[in-house]
A and B are shown apart, each in its own frame.
Chain A
C-alpha cells in the first residue's frame, strides 16, 4: 500500500461545502461557452474533414495512395495505431491503478483521463480498419459462423489478438467511464433547468437513487471492472507489442517488447493527461481541484517511467550486441543509431529518456509552462519511438536487395490530422456536457489530508 505522508497537501484547496463543489465543477454545463471553445471546436471539425477526405481517397484509390511499398508495408497507419493506443492507456492506468492502490488524489483527474482514453482508443481502432486493402471485407476479422466452411480465423495471428484485446478494452473502459458518471448524472438532472436536459440526464442516470445499496454495488462493480481493466491495461499493449515481438523481423523479434510497450504506453498516456489537464484547469478555473500537487504527482511518475524507458532502450542495444546476431546488431547500430533515421532515434532518446529527468528539481516541476512543453515533447518522443520500431526494421531487414526507404504520403498525414481532430472534438463535447471531475468522488476526499482509516 501507499505510505501515509504526515503532511500532505490537501486534495482540494480551500474549505468548500459539498454544494459549492457541485456548483464549481458542474458550472461549465450550466453556462454558455466562450468563443475559445467554439474556435477549438471548429478547428477540430476542419481537421476531421481533412481526415475524412483522406479516408475517401484511401477507399477509392487504394492503399497505393499511401507511401508504403513492398518492403515497408506498414507505416503511419500502424505507428499511429500504437501511439493512440498508448495514449489510451492513461485514463485506465490512472483511475484503475490508483483506484486499486486507493490513491485518493486520482479523483480529480480520472474522469477526464478516462474520457481521453475512450476517444484515443476510438482513434486507434480506426487504423487497423482503414489500413486493410479491402476494408469492405473488414468483417472477415471476426469469428462468426459463416457459409464459407465455416472458415473461422487464424487464432495464431497477433493481429486477431489485437482485435479481441482492443474491442474488449473499448467496451470495458467505456462501461467503466459511464458507470462512474451515474451519480453525477443524477446530480446534474437535479440541477439543470430545461426539460430536455432533465430528460436526457435523467435517462443517462438510469434512475440512480443515492441509496447505500446503490453505492455498495456501485463500488463493487467499479472494483470488478477496475480489476479486470487493470489486467487489460497490461495485456492490451502487451498484445499490441506481440504484433512485432512474435514476428521474425530483426528489431521486432524481441522478448522485452511487452513490458517495454506497456510502460511506454503509460508514459505517453500520463504525459498526454498532463498536457490536457494543464489546459483544462486553466480554461475551466479548476485550479482548486486539479492542484499543483496533482501535477507534481504526475511529473514524479513521469520521472520514474522515463527512467524505465531509458533502461529499456539501453537493454535493447545491449541485447542486440550481446546476442551476437548480425542482423540484430545491424538493425540497432547500423540502421537505428546511425542509419537513415538516426535523427528520429536520437530525438526519441532525448525526449523520452533525458528531458523528463529535469523533473528531479522541484523548481522545474512547479514551472507549469516547462512541464507543459516537456509533456508535449514526451508525446512526440513516444510517436518517434513507434516510428523507429515500425519503419527502420522493415526498411532494412534480411535481404539487402529488399531495402527501401519510406516516406508518408499526404493522405496518411491527412488521416492522422483527422484522428487528432476527432480527439479534440470529443474532448470539447466532453468538457461541455459531462462532469469533467467525478463530483461524488471529489466530495469523498473533501478537506481530507490523509486516507480514511476504515480499511
Chain B
C-alpha cells in the first residue's frame, strides 16, 4: 500500500493522535501519513505551509551561504511540523503538465525535499503511469540554471517594481487602445482561465493566443471542418481490436503517451481472461517507439502519406457504401489493411500523427465510416492540452509589426528557438514597447525581451488542471519556493488587483464552480481535503459519457464536403524535392523544453540508442547509394548534422529529432545536437513537420556519436524469445521450447540454495514492455545513479542500472525490433559473487545479490564475470567533480539525491539492488503494523514506473504472488539460463499478433 491517503476511514482516528508527538519514529509515527491526511480536515492548512516556509528558509539559506562547514546545511525545525518525521517520506498528490504532456503524479518528499515522482494510481487518465520526462521532472526543480529573481532589461529587480511597471504598461496600452497580447503555452487550469477572463475584463484590449512548438491545430481544424467541434477527441486504444496508426507515435510522444501506453498494454495483455490481443499496424517513415511495437510496420514516405490515407479512405468508403473520391495510385497496397479494419468495424481505431488538416479530415472520415466514434473515439470528452493555432500566431506577429500592439507577454514559450522563422518574431518584438516573458531560465527568447518574470516550478506552487473535459487534478507545493519566483496565477491576481493568494483563489473557485456539481460531500472543506489528498476529481456527469454511449452522431453533409475538399487538396499536393525530411520529437527531449535535464539528455533513444545528440536517420539503401557511414556529417539545406544509418527507415526520408540544438538553456543542454525547427513549414495555416529537399550534400567529416549499443543483431542467440499469436494459441510455450531441454540438462555440484523467509523475484513481460525508458529514469532518480556525460557514454561507461537492449530481426530494410529491459539478474548462483576476492558482493538471506560498496576495492572481476554485464564501475569520482558538472556537482542539484541510497565513490562497482531500501522500508512498516507483507506492496522503482505493467516484483516464496504466478506461466524463461546462473529475474516471451504471411522472418 502506497504511503498516501487512499483509505478515507483513516479520517476518524485523527483527533486521537496527540498534537505534540515525540520526534522519534515510533510505531504510530509511521502512520503519520494518515495524520497528514487528517491534517487536511482541520480548518486550515497553515501548519504544513508554515513548515514549507521553515524548511524552505533553511534550504535557501544553505544554498545562498557558501557552505564550508556542514552545520550550515542544517534545517532548523524550530517548531516541528506534525507530519514531518525525519527519515520518513510523505507522498503528495500533484500534477505534471509541461505545456504538452499531462500526467497525474505523486511527489515523494523526504525531509522537505521532493526527491521522486511517482504515478497517481487514482487518476482515471494516467492510471498511475509515468514516462521518462515525468520521472525526470523532479530534477528540473533543482536546476541551477533557474532564474532566482525577476529582471528588467537584464538588471535584477523586485516583484513590486515589476508588477507596478507592468500594470502601468497594461493601463497605458488599454487606454491607448493598443493590444495587450499574451502568447501562452496551453493553459489547462480552470482557475487561471477564470483569472484571465477577469484580466480581460479589466484590460479589454487583451488577446490571449496559444503557441506550441509541436502543434495539433491540424487535428483541431479537421474536427472543426468535419464535426463542427474544434477539439482533440479522446481515444480509447483499450477498446480496440485493431489499431492503424499513420506515423502517430502515441506510445512515445503523441498527445498523451502515458495514458495511451496504459490503454495499449491493457489491450495487448495476454492472459486467461483475455487470450486475444489487439493488432497494431504502423505506417511511418522514421522508426518510432510505437512503430517498434507494431505487429506490422509499413514504411511510408511522409509525402505519400496523404494519398495513402485517401486510398484507405476510399476502400473503407466503398465498403461502407459511401461515395469514393478521386485518388492517386500508391506504392503500398492498403487493401489488406482496409479489409482488416472493416472486419473490426467499431472495434478499430485509425490515428494519424500528421498535423495536416486534410489527412486528419480523411482519418475522421475513415473512423466515422468504421463507426468508431462513440466506441474508440469520443468527441465529447476532448483534450484541453492542445490549443495552439498557427493562424493566431501569424496574425499577432503581423499586428506586432504594424505597431498596434502595446504589450506582449510571453508565458512559458520560446518561439525564437522553436518557431520556424525566429527572425520574424525578433523583428516583431522590436516594434512592441513592452515585452515581458514568464520563463524559468535564460532562453533564446528572453534575450529579446525586456521583462523576465521567473515562475514557480510546478512542485512549488498551487494549481489545478483540467486536461480532459470533466477530469480535474491539483498541483500543490511540496517545497517552499527555492527562489524569488511568482506563479502565473499569482501574477494575474496581482495585475487584477486581487488580494487573494493563488491557493485561496483556486479554493474559492472550486467552491463556486465544482463543489456544486458533485453530491458526495456536503461540506466543502471536506470535499476540498479529500480531493486534494486524492489529487484528482472526476465529474460524475462526465463519467457516464466516458464510454461514449451518448455520443451525438456528427452531421453528415458538411463532413462530406470537407472530405471532398481535403481529397482534392491531397491529390494536388506537390513537393519540390525528392527526399523528405521528417521532424519528430523523441521520448527524452520532446520539444526541447527540458533540454537542460541531464537525466533526459543521457537517456538512450529506444530505437537509435543515441544519447546527447540528435541525428539524421537515413535508410540502409540511401546510405549505400550515397555511401554514408554512421557518424558522417551531411548538410541538409545548409544545416549540418551527423547521419545515422537506421534500419527500417523509409528509403527517401530522413528523420531528425526536434528539441536539440538549444543555444540558451543551460550548461547541460547548450549546443547539444542540432535545431531542425527551421525545417518546419506552414501549409495552409498549419505547421507541417516534414518537408522535402534535394539540397543534401555529404561531407567526409566524421563525428563520434554517443551510442550506448553498437551491435544490433542477436546473432541467432535465444536472448529474446518470441512467438506468433497463432502458435501461441496452439501451444502457450511456443518460442520457449528450449527452456525445457535446458532444465532437463541443468545440474549442479552443490545442493540448490533454499530461502526460508522471502525470496524476491521479478518478472518482465516482453510482450507488454514498449521500451519507453521510464524505468531507466525512475531507477536513476531512486538510486542516485550518476550522469557521466557524452564523453563517457562514447567510452561505453554509461551508469544506468537498467539497460534496454534493442535488437533487429527479419528483413534488413524493414526489420522487426525487439526491446528487452535488463537489470542485475540477482542470480542464485552468481558468477560475480564467486570471484570477488574481498567478499564485497554476496548472497542475502532473501536471495538478493548484495553489494557492499565500502568493502569493494574495484578489481572489476565481478564485472568481467557477469554474463549480463549489468555491473557498473565508478571510473571517476562522479559526485562533486567539476569534470562531471551535472546535478551531483551543485548543492542545489544534490538536493534530489535519495537519502536512503548511498552516493558511490570513485573506484567501486555498483549495480541494481532490487531497490533494497524500499524492501526494507515496507518490511519495517509491516513489522510495526504486526502483519505480513501484502503482494505488490513492495514496488521497485522500475516496476512502479512501468506504465505498461511489464515489470512485476514480488516474493517467489509466496505461491499466490503475481510474480510466482508469472514464473509458472509457460511463457516464462530466464536470460541465458543455459549458463545455470539461476537468475530470479524472469522474462515472458514476446508474442506478435501477425498474419501468417508476415510470420516469415530470418535473422538479419
Residues of A within 8 A of B (CB): 61-64, 67-71, 73-74, 128, 131-135, 137-138, 140-141, 148, 151-154, 156-160, 163, 243, 246-249, 326-327, 330, 394, 397-404
Task: Quote the shortest CB–CB distance from A388 to chain B (angstroms).
Answer: 15
Judging by beta carbons under 8 Å apart, are A401 and B711 in contact?
Answer: yes
Judging by beta carbons under 8 Å apart, are B860 and A74 in contact?
Answer: yes
> Can you report 20 residue pairs joining A to B where beta carbons are below 8 Å apart?
A62-B874, A69-B796, A70-B796, A74-B860, A74-B864, A133-B909, A134-B858, A134-B905, A134-B908, A137-B857, A154-B837, A157-B835, A157-B861, A159-B861, A246-B835, A248-B867, A248-B979, A399-B805, A399-B976, A400-B719
Judging by beta carbons under 8 Å apart, are A138 and B857 in contact?
Answer: yes
Judging by beta carbons under 8 Å apart, are B907 and A70 in contact?
Answer: no
Q: Chain B binding site: helix, strand, loop or mixed by DSSP?
A: loop
Q: In the bound complex, how far is the Cα of B842 from the Cα of A247, in angstroms?
A: 16
Task: Quote the shortest CB–CB distance from A405 to chain B (angstroms).
Answer: 8
Which B819-869 residues have C-beta < 8 A from chain A?
822, 831, 833-839, 842, 855-861, 863-865, 867-869
Chain B residue numbers with a CB within 8 Å of A140 are: 838, 855, 857
CB contact between A398 and one of B717, B834, B837, B858 (< 8 Å): that residue: B717
Task: Quote the shortest CB–CB distance from A147 to chain B (angstroms).
Answer: 13
Task: Quote the shortest CB–CB distance from A391 to chain B (angstroms).
Answer: 11
Judging by beta carbons under 8 Å apart, are B715 and A397 in contact?
Answer: no
Complex interface bits, B704-716 against A, C-beta within 8 A gives 1, otherwise 0: 0000011111111
Judging by beta carbons under 8 Å apart, are A70 and B863 in contact?
Answer: yes
Q: Look across to chain A and name the residue whose beta carbon is closest to the beta carbon of B858.
A: A133
Judging by beta carbons under 8 Å apart, are A401 and B864 in contact?
Answer: no
Interface presence of B527 (CB below 8 A): no
Q: Look across to chain A and name the residue whose beta carbon is closest to the beta carbon of B798.
A: A70
Given A70-B869, A402-B869, A403-B710, verify A133-B861 contact (CB < 8 Å).
no
Q: In the bound complex, how far is the Cα of B981 from the Cα of A249, in angstroms?
A: 12
Q: Look across to chain A and name the residue whose beta carbon is closest to the beta carbon of B863.
A: A73
- Given A73-B864, A128-B859, A404-B796, 18 more A-B residue pairs with CB atoms under 8 Å apart are A62-B876, A64-B797, A64-B876, A70-B871, A132-B857, A133-B907, A134-B857, A134-B905, A134-B907, A137-B857, A153-B838, A154-B838, A163-B837, A246-B834, A247-B864, A248-B865, A249-B864, A399-B719
Given A157-B837, A248-B831, verify A401-B806 contact (CB < 8 Å).
yes
Q: In the bound complex, how far is the Cα of B717 from the Cα of A341, in angstroms?
A: 22
Interface presence of B807 (CB below 8 A): yes
CB contact between A248 and one of B712, B822, B855, B981 (< 8 Å): that residue: B981
Judging by beta carbons under 8 Å apart, are B907 and A132 in contact?
Answer: yes
Q: Look across to chain A and name the residue whose beta carbon is closest to the beta carbon of B792.
A: A64
Chain B residue numbers with a CB within 8 Å of A64 are: 792, 797, 875-876
Chain B residue numbers with a CB within 8 Å of A154 are: 833-834, 836-839, 842
Task: Quote the shortest CB–CB distance from A163 to chain B (angstroms).
Answer: 7
Q: In the bound complex, how far is the Cα of B857 from the Cα of A133, in angstroms?
A: 6
Q: In the bound complex, how far is the Cα of B865 from the Cα of A246, in angstroms?
A: 9
Interface presence of B11 (CB below 8 A): no
Q: Which of B856, B865, B872, B873 has the most CB of A within 10 A?
A: B865
Judging by beta carbons under 8 Å apart, are A133 and B831 in contact?
Answer: no
Task: Quote the shortest CB–CB distance from B719 to chain A (angstroms).
Answer: 6
Chain B residue numbers with a CB within 8 Å of A248 are: 831, 865, 867, 979, 981
Interface presence of B795 (CB below 8 A): yes
Q: In the bound complex, how far is the Cα of B19 from the Cα of A406, in angstroms?
A: 63
Q: In the bound complex, how far is the Cα of B714 from the Cα of A326, in angstroms?
A: 12
Chain B residue numbers with a CB within 8 Å of A249 are: 864-865, 867
Chain A residue numbers with a CB within 8 Å of B835 are: 156-159, 246-247
Chain A residue numbers with a CB within 8 Å of B721 are: none
Chain B residue numbers with a CB within 8 Å of A133 are: 856-860, 873-874, 906-909
Given A62-B907, A326-B717, A404-B796, verify A397-B857 contact (CB < 8 Å).
no
Given A62-B877, A73-B863, A248-B979, verify A400-B715 contact (CB < 8 Å).
yes
Which B973-992 residues have C-beta < 8 A from chain A?
976, 979, 981
Judging by beta carbons under 8 Å apart, are A400 and B717 in contact?
Answer: yes
Q: Look across to chain A and name the residue whose beta carbon is closest to the beta carbon of B869.
A: A402
Q: In the bound complex, how far is the Cα of B806 from the Cα of A330, in angstroms?
A: 20
Chain B residue numbers with a CB within 8 Å of A71 are: 796, 869
Q: In the bound complex, how far is the Cα of B858 from the Cα of A330, in angstroms?
A: 29
Chain B residue numbers with a CB within 8 Å of A163 are: 837
Judging by beta carbons under 8 Å apart, are B716 and A400 in contact?
Answer: no
Chain A residue numbers with a CB within 8 Å of B833 are: 154
Q: In the bound complex, how far is the Cα of B853 from the Cα of A134, in angstroms?
A: 11
Q: In the bound complex, how far is the Cα of B839 from the Cα of A120, in angstroms?
A: 29
Q: Look across to chain A and name the residue whose beta carbon is closest to the beta carbon of B716.
A: A326
Chain A residue numbers with a CB within 8 Å of B40 are: none
Q: Which of A69, A74, A156 has the most CB of B within 10 A?
A: A69
Q: Look across to chain A and name the residue whose beta carbon is closest to the beta carbon of B717.
A: A326
CB contact between A69 and one of B797, B865, B877 (< 8 Å): that residue: B797
Q: Look across to chain A and name the residue whose beta carbon is closest to the beta carbon of B907.
A: A133
Task: Quote the shortest CB–CB distance from B844 to chain A (angstroms).
Answer: 15
Judging by beta carbons under 8 Å apart, are B869 and A62 in contact?
Answer: no
Q: In the bound complex, how far is the Cα of B857 from the Cα of A154, in angstroms?
A: 13
Q: In the bound complex, how far is the Cα of B794 from the Cα of A67, in angstroms?
A: 11
Chain B residue numbers with a CB within 8 Å of A394 are: 864
Q: In the bound complex, how far is the Cα of B88 from the Cα of A447, in angstroms?
A: 89
Q: In the bound complex, how far is the Cα of B961 from the Cα of A365, in angstroms?
A: 74
Chain B residue numbers with a CB within 8 Å of A68 are: 860, 875
Given A152-B839, A398-B868, verify A132-B855 contact (CB < 8 Å).
no
Judging by beta carbons under 8 Å apart, are A156 and B795 in contact?
Answer: no
Judging by beta carbons under 8 Å apart, are A159 and B976 in contact?
Answer: no
Q: In the bound complex, how far is the Cα of B857 from the Cα of A151, in angstroms?
A: 14
Which B874-892 residues have C-beta < 8 A from chain A?
874-877
Q: In the bound complex, how far is the Cα of B860 from the Cα of A157, in angstroms?
A: 12
Judging by beta carbons under 8 Å apart, are B715 and A330 in contact?
Answer: yes
Q: In the bound complex, how far is the Cα of B865 from the Cα of A397, in angstroms?
A: 10
Q: In the bound complex, how far is the Cα of B719 from the Cα of A398, in angstroms?
A: 9
Interface presence of B91 (CB below 8 A): no
Task: Quote the shortest CB–CB distance from B704 to chain A (angstroms).
Answer: 13
Q: In the bound complex, how far is the Cα of B909 from the Cα of A73, in angstroms?
A: 11
Judging by beta carbons under 8 Å apart, are A132 and B711 in contact?
Answer: no
Chain A residue numbers with a CB within 8 Å of B839 are: 151-154
Interface presence of B279 (CB below 8 A): no
Task: Quote the shortest CB–CB distance from A68 to chain B (angstroms).
Answer: 8
Chain B residue numbers with a CB within 8 Å of A74 are: 860-861, 864
Complex interface bits, B546-583 against A, C-beta within 8 A gives 1, otherwise 0: 00000000000000000000000000000000000000
Task: Quote the shortest CB–CB distance from B833 to chain A (angstroms).
Answer: 8
Chain A residue numbers with a CB within 8 Å of B869 are: 70-71, 397, 399, 402
Q: In the bound complex, how far is the Cα of B858 from the Cα of A129, in angstroms?
A: 10
Interface presence of B803 (CB below 8 A): yes
Q: In the bound complex, how far is the Cα of B795 from the Cα of A128, in angstroms?
A: 23
Q: Which of B717, B868, B875, B981 has the most CB of A within 10 A?
A: B875
Judging by beta carbons under 8 Å apart, are A151 and B714 in contact?
Answer: no
Q: In the bound complex, how far is the Cα of B736 from the Cα of A43, in angstroms?
A: 63
Given A70-B798, A326-B717, verify A399-B868 contact (CB < 8 Å).
yes
Q: Which of A61, A128, A133, A397 has the most CB of B within 10 A?
A: A133
Chain A residue numbers with a CB within 8 Å of B873 are: 63, 70, 73, 133
Chain A residue numbers with a CB within 8 Å of B715 are: 330, 400
Q: Which of A67, A141, A327, A402 has the most CB of B within 10 A?
A: A402
Q: In the bound complex, how far is the Cα of B909 from the Cα of A67, in angstroms?
A: 17
Q: Look across to chain B and name the residue whose beta carbon is closest to the beta carbon of A138.
A: B857
Judging by beta carbons under 8 Å apart, are A403 and B711 in contact?
Answer: yes
Q: In the bound complex, how far is the Cα of B863 from the Cα of A248, in angstroms?
A: 12
Which B690-723 residues have C-beta < 8 A from chain A?
709-717, 719
Q: In the bound complex, how far is the Cα of B805 from the Cα of A397, in angstroms?
A: 14
Chain A residue numbers with a CB within 8 Å of B805 are: 399, 401
Which B154-193 residues have C-beta < 8 A from chain A?
none
Judging by beta carbons under 8 Å apart, are A247 and B831 in contact?
Answer: yes
Judging by beta carbons under 8 Å apart, are B822 and A399 in contact?
Answer: yes
Judging by beta carbons under 8 Å apart, are B856 and A134 in contact?
Answer: yes
Chain B residue numbers with a CB within 8 Å of A156 are: 834-835
Q: In the bound complex, how far is the Cα of B310 from the Cα of A320, in angstroms?
A: 58
